[in-house]
Amino acid sequence: MYQSISDTERPRDEFAASDHILALGAHPDDIDMFHGEYIRRARAVGAAITQAVATAGEETTEDHRIWLWRILKRHFIAHGGREQEANKAAKRWGIPPQNVHHLRFPDGFANSDNSSSHYIDALTLSFIGLMRAKRVSKVVTAGAHGYDQHPDHVAVHLAAARAVKFLRLTYNQRITLFSLTAHNASSLQLPVNRHAKLWALIAHCSQFAGYRVFGRFILPKHTKQYLARYSAVLHQEAYVMQ
């Protein structure tokens, strides 16, 4: 049976030092974009954070840098370029390298009707392993609509929801899933520390090129345009609990 969830477990009360939080993303920059503020607050109270990124983002890398076109882009990804960017961002949040996991599932598979259910099955197993091993108490995803409907974001959420349910039912693990949503902000809204978030995002310099000079950000036009797509999460992150 499901553990009942009382009001005291609502996220507004919940950034305890005893927590171990698993932040999930489909692509290397998802966690910082969707969960940056959540991570910042959890870190501030001393909670442990583990990150897991499902893919290396080989299908979703933006051509923001001229030198990243085609062959060079492939070379960059094949040599773990985007993973290194994610590691750098994690370091900026104070997350130790051993807590950053790159699962290296193929990017874009969730788009295919034939393979998506197997893909979600495999992701679910990976997440269960991590959630068990790290005794994770909270999980954050982009939500059932993947925030921007991206099928890979949705796949990660579905797999996480199944893994959480399995661990509650089978091992009675106290674990709660929080999902980001731009539409239903009834449970928790986190006004974003934009500076901290931008600092993490520009670690992904193949996606969000930019510089911080004397505490101010210099962002090229491409980066501003890309960030504009996610302006809701740049200013406020909203979570619902499942």
We find the least distance from the C-beta atom of residue 26 to Zn ion, in angstroms, to be 5
Q: Give the shortest CB-187-to-Zn ion separation in angstroms.
A: 23
How many contiguous H segments (helices) and E segments (strands) does the chain have?
Answer: 8, 9
Least distance between Zn ion and beta carbon 27 (Å): 4
For the chain, how long is the longest CA-to-CA vector?
54
C-beta of 147 vs 239, nearer to Zn ion: 147
Q: How far apart are CA 64 and CA 223, in angstroms?
A: 8
Our CB check for Zn ion shows the closer of 27 and 197 to be 27
Q: CA-to-CA distance for 78 and 185, rounded, in angstroms?
A: 38
CA-based nearest residue to 231, from 147, 141, 153, 152: 147
Q: For the CB of residue 81, give the shortest distance to Zn ion in the complex, in Å.
A: 16
Q: Which of residues 27-86 bind Zn ion (CB under 5 A)?
A: 27, 30
Rounded Cα–Cα distance for residues 228 and 213 (Å) = 21
Residue in the shown chain whose Cβ atom is closest to Zn ion: 27
| 36 vs 175, beta carbon nearer Zn ion | 36
Taking the complex as a whole, how short is the minimal distance between the CB of residue 147 and Zn ion, in angstroms? 8
CB closer to Zn ion, 20 vs 35: 35
Residues 6+ apart with CB under 8 A from 7: none
User: Closest distance between Zn ion and the C-beta of residue 140, in Å?
Assistant: 14
Provide, for the chain, the percentages of residues in helix, strand and coil under a 3-state DSSP scheme, each rounded to the nearest 5. 50, 20, 35
Nearer to Zn ion (CB atom), residue 14 or residue 30 = 30
Is 241 in contact with 176 (CB distance < 8 Å)? yes
State which of positions 7-36 bind Zn ion (CB under 5 A). Answer: 26-27, 30
Closer CB to Zn ion, residue 50 or residue 55? Answer: 55
Closest to 35 (Cα-Cα) out of 190, 203, 219? 190
How many residues interact with Zn ion (rule CB under 5 A)?
Answer: 3
Q: Could you list the residues that contact Zn ion (CB under 5 A)?
A: 26-27, 30
